[in-house]
Every structure is written in C-alpha cells, then in structure tokens.
Structure 1
Amino acid sequence: MTAPAPHAPRYWLMKSEPDECSIDDALAAPGATVPWTGVRNYQARNFMRDAMQVGDGVLFYHSSCPEPGIAGIARVASGTRPDPTQFDPGSPYHDPKSYPGQPRWLVLDVQAQRKTRLIGLPELRATPALADMRVLQRGNRLSITPVEPHEWEAVLMLSNE
C-alpha cells in the first residue's frame, strides 16, 4: 500500500482592512495567528471550504486603505469551522439567515510569518509576471483569490528587494 501523495502547496491572496486586522496586528496576536472572520462572499467561502489547506501560503493584502497592497506573508494555520460572527447580532458580520445548525459562513486561522515592505498596486501592475494575477483583474473584488506558483515567486522576489 502506498502513502497518499503529499499536499502540493497552494497559494492565496487574502484581503484585510488594516483598521480591522493589519499584518502588524496579526504578528502581535498570540502565535501570530488570527481567525479570518467576516468572509461574506460565497466564492471566497468556497475557496476556504474546498481548496485551502493547512500550510498553504498567503499573501496578506491590505485593502480599503490609502495604499492598498501586499503587506506580509502568512500561511493557512487551520481548517475551517463556522464563523461565530454570523450568529452575533452585535457584529457587523451578523447574518440573521444563518443558524448554528446550518451555518452559511466559515472561518479559518491565518498565521502571519513576516511583514514585507508594502508592494502596492502600481508596482504589482508594473510587474510582467503578475499581469494575470486575479487581484489585478478589472472588477475583481473577492477577498480571497488563488495565486499561481509563478505569481507567488514573483511577489517573494519583489518583497526581498
């Protein structure tokens, strides 16, 4: 009997508003790990549920701020579980149509590994290897998008400049 093939690493870009959770906040959290709550898009939720695995690489992206861009490197640190904010009437992420027995929304943990210099949208757009990166595509507003291995490598090279 042969052992199952090891999980090939996947890569993701995950957007967070720095006022809510910045790369600095994540690095300062216990174990540098934060729950990725508040995902309220079905496609992003499905990425979390169906494709993301512990150990996958994450580009930690600051969004909805004066200078959006990649601010750090992280990894997926847990599998999914129901997002408790969907059940909390005091949360901005409350979903009155979601019930504990049938949760709609999921959360997973992300562990920050390091802060990078901010790699902003103009620099990302000016990098030929990133021309097809999903975050740069017109109309893309997803908070979680897959990143191709060559895009991951290109961002790592930019982050080390």
Structure 2
Amino acid sequence: MAKWLVKSEPSECGIDDFVEASSTVIPWDGVRNYQARNYLAQMREGDEVFLYHSSCQAIGIAGIVRVVRGAYPDPSQFDPESPYFDAKSHRDKPRWQAVDLTLVRQLPRLIPLHELKGLPGLENLPLVRKGSRLSVMPVTEDEWQLTLRLEG
C-alpha cells in the first residue's frame, strides 16, 4: 500500500470533520492542480494518508485517514453551483479526480511543520521543500515511519 499526505484548511475539512464522521466516508474533492490530481489518480483503496492542516493557526499533521475508494471523476467539476465547477470538463472526459477517505485515527498531538523540517530523513518530502505547495503528495515508507516517531 502506498502512503500519501493531503493538505486542507481545517475550516474546509479537518481532523474534526473526520472524527465527527467516524465510520463514514468523506469525499476528497475540489483538487484543482494537475500534479495533485495526478497523485489522486494513483491512490488505491487501503492506502494510508496523513491529514495535514494548512493555512490556519496550528499547521501540521493532525491525523491518519485511509482511502476507501480509489480515484473517480470528481462530481463537483460538473456542478455549476459548486465553487469547483469546471466548464471545460465533460462527463465523457473528466479533468479532475476525487477519492473517498475515512478516519484511521487522530494523532495524540499535532506534528508541526517546524518539527518535520528539522527531522533528518525528511529532506526530500515535498512538504518540507521550499516552494512546494501541492495539496496531495506521496510519502515514502521511510518518511512515514520517521514522521510517526514524532507523534509521541
């Protein structure tokens, strides 16, 4: 199984939303960056994902979620009422992908970005590289295990 990291503003969809939904799924939709979309398309059922809070006061990894449905056409791209509507996308050739996620667990504490940046072994993680703003990114198994050591 692959490992991933997704970023979200907690006011949009954060760990509290997953805790509230507990046994249900949350669609991860509205991604409108081509590289992030390509990563979403690679996600498979069972893959584990770090949920990272961004653009807020407490920035960092807040929990772990799991892919319960791999990539499928993002329905919001077809909805003219959605802020994620894309008039250039067509049902027979969709441009954007979504996946369904469910909670694995909330971390005992938020792992802040400054700790991730200071951890030897995470230098190649896109999250800690200067200028990387992707909302979906792969995480190697080694990076995953190193990061989990910080949760304690």
Normalised to the residue count of structure 1, the TM-score between the two structures is 0.88
Structure 2 Cα separation of the partners of residues 122 and 32 of structure 1: 32
Partner in structure 2 of residue 42 of structure 1: 34
CA contact 2:22–2:102 (8 Å) conserved in 1: no
Partner in structure 1 of residue 19 of structure 2: 27
Structure 2 Cα separation of the partners of residues 68 and 16 of structure 1: 10
Q: CA deviation at 1:67?
A: 2.2
Q: Alignment partner of 1:61: what SS?
A: strand
CA contact 1:27–1:33 (8 Å) conserved in 2: no
Residues 1:136 and 2:128 aligned together: yes
Q: CA deviation at 1:131?
A: 2.2
CA contact 2:29–2:98 (8 Å) conserved in 1: yes
Specify every segment of 5 or more residues in structure 1 that has no aligned partner in the other structure, as ranges.
1-8
- Aligned residue pair count: 151
Q: CA 1:27/1:108 → structure 2, altered by over 3 Å: closer, same or farther?
A: same
Q: CA deviation at 1:101?
A: 2.0
**CA root-mean-square deviation:** 1.3
**Structure ranking higher in strand proportion:** 2
Normalised to the residue count of structure 2, the TM-score between the two structures is 0.93
Partner in structure 2 of residue 120 of structure 1: 112
Structure 1 Cα separation of the partners of residues 69 and 19 of structure 2: 17
2:49 to 44, 51, 58: 58
CA contact 2:79–2:85 (8 Å) conserved in 1: yes
Identity %: 50
Structure 2 Cα separation of the partners of residues 146 and 26 of structure 1: 21
Q: CA 1:100/1:22 → structure 2, altered by over 3 Å: closer, same or farther?
A: same
